[in-house]
Every structure is written in structure tokens, then in C-alpha cells.
């Protein structure tokens, strides 16, 4: 089974004086969480991350952020893969403790840091079954915008992008297949394009 999370979770791991603060969160919060962590931890030396999301296909990313190549980002990503997590980001903030850990030590430390935050999320009941989202585009006249916005809010549909034109609004929306069907039952005269 594939899982995701809908809240931010934190874990702490220490190795030979270095402190590793790990944060697991929904992927759509990635930029916001990274900026917040850099603001709150100005003395940290590394902000290692990995992410997995689905947009027609699974897209993965990672960064060693100055750690030796392959010592931190990939091990973090491998933990996300091993736990079958999707649409999540995981950032580990490292405070250097004065002792070099070596590549092997870093791999173990970042792996353990990722596993710690994931364990915290699981124990807190934070794992949710992943439900695949579908993206679709709408172009609607301004006259029906309020009605469309009402159903977007009511069904919890994600607005990924919005473009205002002279006579219409273009929306890129994302939701579950069930919510999309319900949306078009409530608004049967709308036309849409599937994006993938």
C-alpha cells in the first residue's frame, strides 16, 4: 500500500556530536517548509532533502546540499521509497558537531534521521492511504466563478494555477477521481481538459 501525510512531523537524531533535525510533510508545502527551516536554523550547515510526488508519473528529487555526493540525499530518498511514501518531502537540517563522520557514517546518520521522523509520523497516526490525484483544466466565464469556487472549496479541490483573462478564468485543478466526478455532477455544463 502507498501512503502519504497531510501534516508536518519532526524527528531528532544525533551522531558523534552532530545533530540531525528531520521534517516530513506534504509535498505541496516544500518551498514554504524549506524557507521556514532556513530562517529558523541560520547556523545549520546542511539542508539535505528528498521528495517523491506523482504528476502523471512518479517524480523524485534529492539534494546532498554540500555533503559528499551520495551520502545524504539518495539515502533519504531510499527511505521514502522503502516506506512507499508519495507526495511528500523530507528535509534534514544538520548541525555539525565537530567530528567528521565519513561517507559511511553520513549514509547511516541521514538514513536514521529519515527513519526517525517517519516512525514519529506513523506512531502519531499520520500515515494516510495515498489517493491518486488527477489534474484537469477549466476555462470558465466570470459569471460562474463564484459557483465554481464554492464547489472547489466544498470538495477540497486543489487550485494549482489560476489565470485571469479578459472574459474568462483558466484554472488548473487537482483532486481525486471521485471528487472530480462529484464536481461535474454539480456543474454539468462545464467543459474541461485532462492534463495527463
**CATH number of the domain where residue 159 is located:** 3.30.70.2030
- The span from the CA of 50 to the CA of 33, in Å, is 13
The bridge status of strand 192-194 relative to strand 57-63 is: unpaired
- Domain CATH code at residue 27: 3.30.230.30
Q: How far is CA 196 from CA 58, 87, 130, 141, 170, in A?
A: 13, 17, 18, 24, 17
Q: What does the pLDDT read at residue 190?
A: 77
- From 128, 147, 172, give the residue that closes a domain: 128
The answer on 31 and 100 residing in a single domain is: yes
The answer on 124 and 50 residing in a single domain is: yes
- Whether 195 has a pLDDT exceeding 60, the answer reads no
- Digit-coded pLDDT (tens) for 48-59: 999 999 877 899
The answer on 120 and 138 residing in a single domain is: no
List the domain range (segments joined by +) for residue 106: 3-128
Q: What does the pLDDT read at residue 157?
A: 93
The answer on 114 and 179 residing in a single domain is: no
* C-beta separation of 87 from 77 below 8 A: no
DSSP 132-158: -EEEEEEEEEGGGHHHHHHHHHHHT-E
The answer on 104 and 7 residing in a single domain is: yes
- From 108, 128, 148, give the residue that closes a domain: 128
Domain count, the chain: 2
- From 105, 128, 151, give the residue that closes a domain: 128
- The span from the CA of 155 to the CA of 183, in Å, is 8
Confidence label for 153 from pLDDT (cuts 50, 70 and 90): very high
Q: Minimal CA–CA distance to 175: which of 139, 128, 129, 131?
A: 131
The answer on 110 and 25 residing in a single domain is: yes
Q: What does the pLDDT read at residue 71?
A: 97
Q: Is the dihedral of CA 83, 73, 108, 34 positive or negative?
A: negative
75 vs 184, higher pLDDT: 75
The arithmetic mean of pLDDT across residues 20-29, rounded, is 96
pTM of the model: 0.76
The answer on 119 and 148 residing in a single domain is: no
- Whether 193 has a pLDDT exceeding 60, the answer reads no
The answer on 152 and 82 residing in a single domain is: no
Percent of the chain with pLDDT strictly greater than 90 = 81
Q: What does the pLDDT read at residue 192?
A: 58
- Whether 191 has a pLDDT exceeding 80, the answer reads no
178 Cβ partners below 8 Å, 6+ apart? Answer: none
The answer on 178 and 89 residing in a single domain is: no
The answer on 103 and 73 residing in a single domain is: yes
* C-beta separation of 30 from 89 below 8 A: yes
- The span from the CA of 72 to the CA of 106, in Å, is 6
The answer on 119 and 39 residing in a single domain is: yes
The answer on 86 and 40 residing in a single domain is: yes
Amino acid at each position: 500500500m502507498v501512503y502519504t501525510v497531510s501534516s508536518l512531523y519532526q524527528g531528532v537524531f544525533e551522531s558523534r556530536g552532530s545533530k540531525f533535525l528531520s521534517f516530513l510533510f506534504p509535498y505541496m508545502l516544500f518551498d514554504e517548509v524549506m524557507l521556514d527551516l532556513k530562517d529558523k536554523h541560520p547556523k545549520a550547515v546542511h539542508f539535505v532533502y528528498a521528495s517523491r510526488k506523482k504528476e502523471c508519473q512518479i517524480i523524485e528529487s534529492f539534494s546532498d546540499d554540500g555533503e559528499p555526493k551520495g551520502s545524504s540525499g539518495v539515502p533519504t530518498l531510499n527511505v521514502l521509497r522503502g516506506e512507499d511514501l508519495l507526495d511528500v518531502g523530507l528535509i534534514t537540517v544538520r548541525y555539525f558537531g565537530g567530528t567528521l563522520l565519513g561517507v559511511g557514517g553520513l549514509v547511516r546518520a541521514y538514513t536514521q534521521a529519515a527513519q526517525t521522523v517517519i516512525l514519529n509520523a506513523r506512531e502519531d497516526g499520520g500515515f494516510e492511504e495515498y489517493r491518486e490525484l488527477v489534474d484537469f483544466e477549466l476555462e470558465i466565464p466570470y459569471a460562474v466563478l463564484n459557483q465554481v469556487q464554492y464547489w472547489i472549496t466544498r470538495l477540497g479541490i486543489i487550485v494549482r494555477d489560476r489565470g485571469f483573462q479578459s472574459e474568462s478564468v483558466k484554472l488548473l485543478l487537482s483532486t481525486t477521481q471521485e471528487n472530480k466526478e462529484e464536481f461535474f455532477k454539480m456543474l454539468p455544463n462545464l467543459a474541461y481538459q485532462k492534463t495527463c
